[in-house]
């Protein structure tokens, strides 16, 4: 058959059908991953792999050879913080930071340098914001004029010393307290720091001074706002609103149209429970600011402390691979050919190797182990696509949760909490205990004025060998009171001593993997500051460490008549089980007459483990069951669009069905005689008050395919697609809404020298724009 004749025949077939099943193209064989367990020189340098995506750097110190080999930039962890550069007023010390830079730049003169940090509420001498007591001829009363002078002087001196050599600098670090997306200014309230002296304006004032120094010198130094927890939608929205507002009000301030805040630093302190989808959505949110870059800073993925298991190592590799897939898809460099916003300009890991003690000690958070041998995490970073194609998550759930005790909240990194520790809720009377904001009405005990209480916490150090007993505002995992922040390190104790203050800092006498009883005995006699006495008691790792486990908690009321036990955790009573919550995040990948459905198990299993999950397809009602979080539904019709729901079952019964998945369309295999393999999908959305439907088509065949797509209201569009090419067409639907339904897609070609024609359905969820 001649080419003109063939084209005419195929066009005729399309005209006859012009109207539905796709199968993903058979994936090309992925190159085999190298083995883990080797030293760094056996792998490509991470900086080289990502050279055309973004700058690959390190935050903090690390083993020198591995650091120089793998990283293109360096950010000091502590040496540039305010307590290191100006502990005493007017006495600036830059030698530690200079030594930190020189340690690595002498080995690699091309190593780019970043700065961290000019203004922060932590690791900053309290005299800077003129906190009590009076020092350095300051009033010691949070005087805003004095605090602003101190802020400006510090920024001028530190940035003036280092600025010309820096790519970027964290001007402000971790300003957001409790995130309220409706009030970014109020969200900056913290129990300590610049906010107390300068209010919410302090962030803006710091950036204004930094911009003044940089622009006066003509330096190209990016000004960064850096914060943790920006995988949280609420906190990310607060940062977005803050940056948007500040930049808008100073839009014409800087030369060349530079925004005042040029970069958002997303601290990547993650763990196995991190929602990668939320990370991606928040990157997309920041990208809508238009002229603001995104840096991923201080990145690590913490594992449950104690022992590095093969299962957790595998799952850490999966999480690294998922996150680096996202970072590549939003990279600012030329290697990113996606249609996503190109905003990620730097990614910085928080170390080289795992460390046994100190920051991130015992959390196995880095790509190399204690001895410098590559873990699966390194392979996930270097080869994210291949890793995800050859690995999957291993379910490590198991064991029974300890029964809850009213008013006691224990956070455990092995169970997915970002920070380990515990809270003991003291009261629920807003007049007597105004800091207590328990949302469940449960308290551990109600203190009596003048009474003495003994709090005993047994913990095991699994990397973290210092613990603080602190005042916290509520029953969440954070939010310290200002009374706590003012004295968090003021009362140090050894492990065997009885603390007589809160906050108490147990910071000596403990070794890794040791278990200790830490005892605090305090009389609530009214001498404590109001926002300390009334706060709830929190147990947290010292110096930010999280690698420890809380084993038992006991609270006793101490009196001459005898000690009365008020709280013991864990308790022995197990509440009756109920049906689990519904599974979430249901997604499907179409196959040949089948679909593989995956989901997130219920966050609440009702007190009884989920034993089986059932997937149901619509239309048709085909099912599959599994004890995991994915299974394959077979017996589906190629070319027909299907959605899926999942029901979880435990000993108490069935959950409600999950939300319906996005439609997918099973398809034939490429190269099948008299069948045409396309991948099809459709979306519906409201644009300018009108519903718009978009069809997406990819040619999975190895030969050209003529494609026609048609809507239910008989709008038709056609295209000749070359092998592997994609086609997208958008229609505005009649009326103010469009119901969920299907678009028809037809492909025509010649397979094995035989004309072939196949019709598909591309399902969409509809849109109501009225």
Q: Which of 79, 170, 192, 227 is catalytic?
A: 227
Q: Which of 280, 298, 300, 675 is catalytic?
A: 298
Closest C-alpha to 666, from 696, 641, 644, 630: 641
- The total of other beta-carbon atoms located within 10 Å of residue 33's CB is 17
Beta bridge partners of 718: 708
Cα–Cα distance for residue pair 719/732, rounded to 1 Å: 19
227 is catalytic: yes
Q: CA quadruple 202, 205, 207, 213: dihedral positive or negative?
A: negative
Q: Are 25 and 679 in contact (CB under 8 A)?
A: yes
174 is catalytic: yes
- Give residue for tokens 């897939």: 325
Q: Are 509 and 498 in contact (CB under 8 A)?
A: no
Q: Which of 79, 170, 174, 262 is catalytic?
A: 174
Cα–Cα distance for residue pair 408/403, rounded to 1 Å: 11
Cα–Cα distance for residue pair 128/119, rounded to 1 Å: 10
Q: Find the helix packing angle between 233-249 and 276-287, rounded to 10°.
A: 10
Q: What is the DSSP string of 38-56?
A: --GGGS--HHHHTTTT-EE
Cα–Cα distance for residue pair 295/226, rounded to 1 Å: 9
Q: Which two tokens stand for residue 311?
A: 């299962």
Q: How far is CA 231 from the centre of its chain?
A: 3
Q: Which residues contact 588 (CB under 8 A, 6 or more apart)?
A: 595, 596, 597, 598, 642, 643, 644, 661, 662, 664
Cα–Cα distance for residue pair 447/393, rounded to 1 Å: 46
Beta strands across the sheet bearing 467-472: 408-411, 421-424, 536-541, 467-472, 504-508, 492-494
- Give residue for tokens 């007049």: 431
Q: What are the distances in angstroms from CA 417 to CA 227, 412, 422?
A: 18, 6, 11
Q: Which residues contact 560 (CB under 8 A, 6 or more apart)?
A: none
Q: How large is the C-alpha radius of gyration of the chain?
A: 30
Cα–Cα distance for residue pair 432/96, rounded to 1 Å: 48
Task: Tell the burial category of 715 from Cβ atoms under 10 Å away from its Cβ (0-12, 13-18, 19+).
Answer: middle
Task: Tell the burial category of 21 from Cβ atoms under 10 Å away from its Cβ (0-12, 13-18, 19+).
Answer: buried
3-state secondary structure 103-135: HHHCCCCCCEEEEEEEEECCCCCHHHHCCCCCC
Half-sphere exposure of 99 (CA within 13 A, CB side): 8
Q: Are 545 and 464 in contact (CB under 8 A)?
A: yes
Q: Which residues contact 312 (CB under 8 A, 6 or more apart)?
A: 272, 303, 304, 364, 396
State which H helix or E strand residue 399 sits in: none
In degrees, rounded to 5, the angle at the alpha carbon of residue 273 between the alpha carbons of residues 581 and 631 is 60
298 is catalytic: yes
Q: Which residues of 82-94 are buried (b: 16+ CB within 10 A; e: fewer)?
A: bebbbeeeeeeeb
In degrees, rounded to 5, the angle at the alpha carbon of residue 598 between the alpha carbons of residues 594 and 603 is 155
Q: Are 659 and 628 in contact (CB under 8 A)?
A: no
User: Which residues belong to the active site?
Assistant: 174, 227, 298
């Amino acid at each position: 058959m001649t080419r003109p004749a063939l084209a005419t025949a195929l066009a005729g077939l399309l005209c006859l059908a012009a109207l539905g099943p796709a199968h993903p193209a058979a994936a090309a064989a992925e190159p085999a991953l190298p083995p883990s367990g080797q030293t760094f020189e056996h792998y490509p340098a991470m900086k080289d792999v990502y050279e055309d995506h973004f700058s690959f750097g390190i935050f903090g110190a690390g083993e020198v050879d591995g650091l120089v080999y793998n990283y293109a930039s360096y950010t000091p962890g502590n040496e540039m913080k305010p307590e290191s550069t100006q502990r005493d007023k007017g006495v600036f010390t830059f030698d530690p930071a200079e030594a930190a830079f020189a340690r690595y730049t002498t080995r690699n003169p091309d190593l780019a340098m970043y700065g961290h940090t000019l203004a922060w509420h932590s690791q900053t001498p309290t005299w800077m914001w003129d906190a009590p007591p009076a020092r350095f001829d300051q009033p010691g009363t949070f005087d805003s004029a004095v605090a602003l002078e101190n802020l400006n002087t510090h920024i001028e001196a530190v940035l003036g010393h280092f600025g010309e050599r820096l790519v970027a600098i964290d001007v402000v670090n971790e300003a957001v307290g409790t995130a309220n997306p409706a009030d970014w200014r109020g969200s900056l309230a913290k129990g300590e720091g610049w906010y107390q002296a300068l209010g919410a304006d302090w962030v803006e004032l710091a950036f204004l001074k930094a911009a003044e120094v940089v622009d006066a010198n003509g330096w190209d130094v990016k000004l960064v706002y850096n914060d943790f927890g920006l995988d949280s939608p609420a906190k990310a929205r607060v940062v977005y609103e803050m940056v948007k507002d500040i930049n808008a009000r100073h839009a014409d301030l800087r030369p060349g149209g530079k925004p005042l805040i040029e970069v958002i630093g997303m601290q990547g302190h993650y763990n196995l429970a991190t929602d990668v989808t939320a990370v991606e959505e928040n990157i997309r949110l920041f990208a809508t600011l238009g002229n603001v870059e995104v840096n991923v800073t201080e990145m690590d993925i913490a594992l449950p402390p104690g022992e590095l298991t093969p299962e957790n190592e595998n799952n850490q590799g999966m999480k690294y691979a998922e996150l680096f897939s996202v970072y590549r898809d939003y990279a600012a460099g030329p290697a990113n050919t996606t249609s996503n916003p190109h905003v990620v300009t730097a990614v910085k890991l928080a170390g080289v190797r795992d460390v046994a003690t100190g920051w991130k000690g015992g959390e196995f958070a880095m790509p190399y182990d204690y001895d410098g041998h590559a873990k699966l995490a390194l392979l996930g970073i270097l080869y994210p696509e291949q890793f995800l194609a050859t690995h999957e998550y291993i379910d490590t759930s198991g064991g029974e949760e300890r029964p809850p005790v009213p008013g006691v909240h224990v956070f455990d990194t092995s169970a997915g909490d970002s920070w380990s520790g515990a809270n003991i809720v003291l009261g629920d009377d807003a007049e007597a205990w105004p800091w207590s904001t328990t949302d469940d009405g449960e308290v551990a005990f109600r203190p009596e004025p003048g009474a003495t209480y003994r709090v005993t916490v047994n913990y095991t150090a699994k990397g973290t060998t210092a613990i603080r007993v602190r005042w916290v505002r509520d029953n969440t995992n954070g939010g310290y009171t200002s009374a706590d922040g003012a004295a968090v390190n003021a009362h140090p104790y050894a492990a065997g001593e009885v603390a007589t203050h809160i906050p108490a800092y147990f910071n000596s006498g403990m070794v890794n993997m040791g278990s200790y009883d830490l005892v605090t005995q305090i009389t609530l006699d009214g001498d404590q500051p109001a926002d300390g006495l009334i706060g709830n008691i929190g147990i947290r790792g010292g110096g930010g460490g999280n690698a420890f486990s809380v084993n038992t908690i006991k609270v006793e009321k101490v009196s001459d008549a005898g000690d009365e036990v008020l709280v013991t955790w864990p308790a022995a009573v197990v509440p009756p089980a109920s049906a689990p919550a519904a599974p979430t995040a249901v997604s499907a990948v179409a196959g040949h007459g089948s679909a593989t459905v995956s989901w997130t198990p219920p966050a609440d299993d009702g007190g009884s483990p989920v034993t089986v999950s059932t997937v149901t397809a619509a239309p048709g009602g085909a099912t599959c069951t599994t004890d995991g979080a994915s299974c394959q539904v077979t017996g589906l019709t190629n070319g027909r669009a299907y959605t899926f729901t999942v029901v979880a079952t435990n000993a108490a019964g069935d959950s409600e069905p999950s939300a319906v998945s996005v439609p997918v369309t099973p398809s034939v295999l490429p190269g099948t005689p008299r069948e045409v393999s396309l991948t099809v999908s459709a979306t519906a959305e409201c644009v300018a008050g009108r519903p718009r439907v978009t069809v997406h088509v990819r040619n999975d065949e190895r030969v050209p395919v003529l494609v026609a797509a048609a809507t239910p209201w008989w709008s038709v569009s056609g295209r000749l697609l070359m092998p592997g090419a994609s086609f997208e067409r958008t229609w505005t639907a009649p009326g103010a809404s469009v119901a969920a339904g299907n678009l028809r897609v037809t492909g025509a070609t010649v397979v094995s020298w035989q004309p072939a024609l196949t019709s598909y359905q591309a399902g969409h969820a509809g849109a109501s724009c009225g």
